[in-house]
Amino acid sequence: MARIEEGLEVSTLARPRGDLARLPWVSFFIIALLVVVAVLAPLVAPHSPTEQSLPDKLRPPAWQEGGSANHLLGTDVLGRDVLSRLIYGARVSLIVAAAALLAGGGVGLMVGIVSGYVGGRVDSFLMRVVDATLTFPTILIALLLAVSMGQGLQTIAIAITVLIWARFARVVRGEVLSVKARDFVALARVHGCSHPRIMAIHIVPNVMNTFMVLLTLHIGFVIIVEASLSFLGAGIPPPTPSWGQMVADGRSHIASAWWLAVVPGAAIVLVVLAFNLFGDWLRDWLDPRLRQV
Amino acid sequence: MALAPVVLEVKDLHAYLYTRWGVVRAVDGVSFALREGETLGLVGESGCGKTMTGLSVLRLLPEPAGRIVRGQVLLEGEDLVTKSESEMREVRGRRISMILQDPQTSLNPVFTVGAQLVEALKLHHREPAHALWRRAEDALRRVKVAAPEQRMRAYPHQMSGGMKQRVVGAIAVAGEPRVLIADEPTTALDVTIQLQYLTLLKEIQARTRLAMLFITHDFGIVARMCDRVAVMYAGRIVESGPTRALFRAPRHPYTEALMASVPRMEASVERLPSIEGQPPPLHELPAGCRFAARCGHADDRCRREYPPTFPAGPAHEAACWRVEPSAPSR
């Protein structure tokens, strides 16, 4: 008997180790780098992001002819260090992403759970609100909000929140509908569980996987929206550096000083890609059925 | 031998579903009584109201369509129909519990088996976590799960169907209920596991004097498990009686037809007899006997008037005009 039990433990009962081997290391590294750099911006940035030095203007990156090690990624039209601006810009991107996702994701999760679980008229009403929200053209509404509330970090976060909650609500609701129909929810009722308790211990944990994945996949989206708004001039007011703003400023010099638009553009692409790959991995890792394979 | 006390008594229960297509009379005047330590089999074909009967006892009809329209559900003398939702929560799990058909979805996939057992026990015992954990392990041991210490930490997908259904059983009896409603608990299990599971339920029943309402469509299981049988057709119980008497001499033509359609080992038949036609849709029931359209004995009275329940032997009754004591034997 003891032997059989040992066998069981090894083959089927071993705690899933978490599939760290398949962690997308490149994405993970990019994300980690982004976070560290954003948090420690004043320490790692070689220059002030706003300090102008006209004699040094439009220096190319260090590896090109005319570049200097003092400005690794070159300087812009006002002689500001591109690398330092990129580093400080990461802060903006991360703060906006975190704020908008916490607020928008949180609201969306709650609306989705209530809508899916309660059903009936409440569901119809909430889903019509979601439909209406989703019909808003993203950038237009964000522009409108930015214009009416004034530019700034807060405005951008609020605008993105308003736009994003409905996507979460919609997906979470669908997931709740499928979880709700399973027998363990019925059995929880049979065993005397109240509705709020069922939502808390049976519904929420079962939609959490989907929610977390949705969250990571939307980090990229939020960063792009923030960059687009800044690009359009409705984002973070200058001189605070933001990646979208940097791309916008560099656009007019693309022929002569390519690095002004390409460097922040590449940063956006890399970070968004990294978060998306990370999201894919997270989805597999969070699912207890896929985890052990 | 004195009869054990009645634990659950259902009297003239009507539970309707109000749907877009009309009122579905899923449970339409069902009465039965369940004694301590007794198993009552509720049999009938799909959609005849068996499951709805089970759910209305717990007042868990699908919302918002389902409603108990009339009748009483007496649990140890208390009427559950008039209880408030929060009073019902005290009843569910603690005094009446239920097992459903599919073990695959009866457990929450994101928690370990131990966590779910503890969760169920927590509703009924106020104890520190480690005591609950110990109690949960005991519960697993009682349903004969091998290596319960390790199984406690396993996720449902790491277990077989039979094992999961045992865990579901352990959760169901965790609150030490007086009544267990088992809704086709073995349908999703293969035959050898079925037998083990039924034996296990019997053992639990012998130990706890649990009254069981066993919903099934399998006469083999009825013969093995049930002291008494109630046959349901189109929302009503058409015949009920001690298992042996009912099997030996079914009095209602529907029961007869059901029995005839069970394949037997002894006799080889070319073709199994089957019951022609379909049961009437529950939202447009005929005035007379609901089986009349499929019954070989039906006459005008059957089609006009629903037969009352007549005694058909000791503790045996059937709702058929042919059983009427004064009826000329036909």
**Which tens digit of pLDDT belongs to each residue from A216-233?**
888 878 888 887 887 787
pLDDT band at A21 (very low <50, low <70, confident <90, very high): low
**How many other C-beta atoms are found inside a 10 Å radius of the C-beta of residue B269?**
9
Q: Where are the domains positioned within chain B?
A: 100-176
Q: Compare CB distances from B93 to A5, A182, A192 and report the shortest one's residue.
A: A192
Residue A181 confidence (pLDDT) above 50:
yes
Does a structural domain hold residue A66? no
Residues 176-205 of A with CB under 8 A from B: 182-184, 186-187, 189-194, 201-202, 205
Distance CA(B235)–CA(B252), nearest Å, equals 15
Q: What is the model's pLDDT at position B91?
A: 87
pLDDT tens, residue by residue, B220-276:
888 888 999 999 998 889 999 999 888 888 888 888 888 887 777 676 667 777 787
| Mean pLDDT of all residues in A240-245 | 82
pLDDT band at A19 (very low <50, low <70, confident <90, very high): low
**Complex ipTM tops 0.90:** no
Q: Which residue of B has its CA nearest to A117?
A: B63
Omega before residue A238 within 30° of 0, cis? no
- Return the CATH number at A82: 1.10.3720.10
Distance CA(B113)–CA(B119), nearest Å, equals 10
CB A211 within 8 A of CB A89: no
| Mean pLDDT of all residues in A165-176 | 92
* Domain of residue A139, residue span: 24-30+72-291
Do A187 and B100 make contact, defined as CB atoms within 8 angstroms? yes
Least Cα distance to A167 among A101, A230, A68 occurs for A101
| Mean pLDDT of all residues in A198-202 | 88
Does a structural domain hold residue A155? yes
Report chain B residues whose CB lies below 8 A from the CB of A175.
none
Q: Compare CB distances from B60 to A4, A8, A190 and report the shortest one's residue.
A: A190
Number of structural domains found in chain A: 1
Q: What is the model's pLDDT at position B313?
A: 82
Please give, rounded to a whole number of angstroms, the shortest distance from the CA of A5 to a CA of chain B.
6
Q: pLDDT: is B164 or A71 the higher one?
A: B164
Strands (E) in B20-142, as ranges, are 22-35, 39-43, 66-75, 78-79, 96-99
pLDDT tens, residue by residue, B76-131:
888 998 988 888 888 888 889 988 888 888 888 888 999 988 988 887 778 888 88
**How many other C-beta atoms are found inside a 10 Å radius of the C-beta of residue B286?**
15
Residue B295 confidence (pLDDT) above 60:
yes
Does a structural domain hold residue A63? no
Q: What is the model's pLDDT at position A11?
A: 42
Residue A6 confidence (pLDDT) above 50:
no
Task: Name the pTM for this structure.
Answer: 0.75
Report chain A residues whose CB lies below 8 A from the CB of B164.
none
Distance CA(B68)–CA(B81), nearest Å, equals 8
Residue A57 confidence (pLDDT) above 80:
no
Helix (H, G, I), strand (E, B) or coil at B126: coil
pLDDT tens, residue by residue, B143-188:
888 888 888 998 888 888 888 888 988 888 888 889 999 988 888 7
Does a structural domain hold residue A19? no
Q: What is the model's pLDDT at position B262?
A: 77
Q: What is the model's pLDDT at position A126?
A: 93
The pair of three-digit structure tokens given for residue A248, joined into one six-digit string: 């916008």
Q: How many helices (DSSP H) and strands (DSSP E) are in chain A?
A: 13, 0
Distance CA(A264)–CA(A2), nearest Å, equals 62
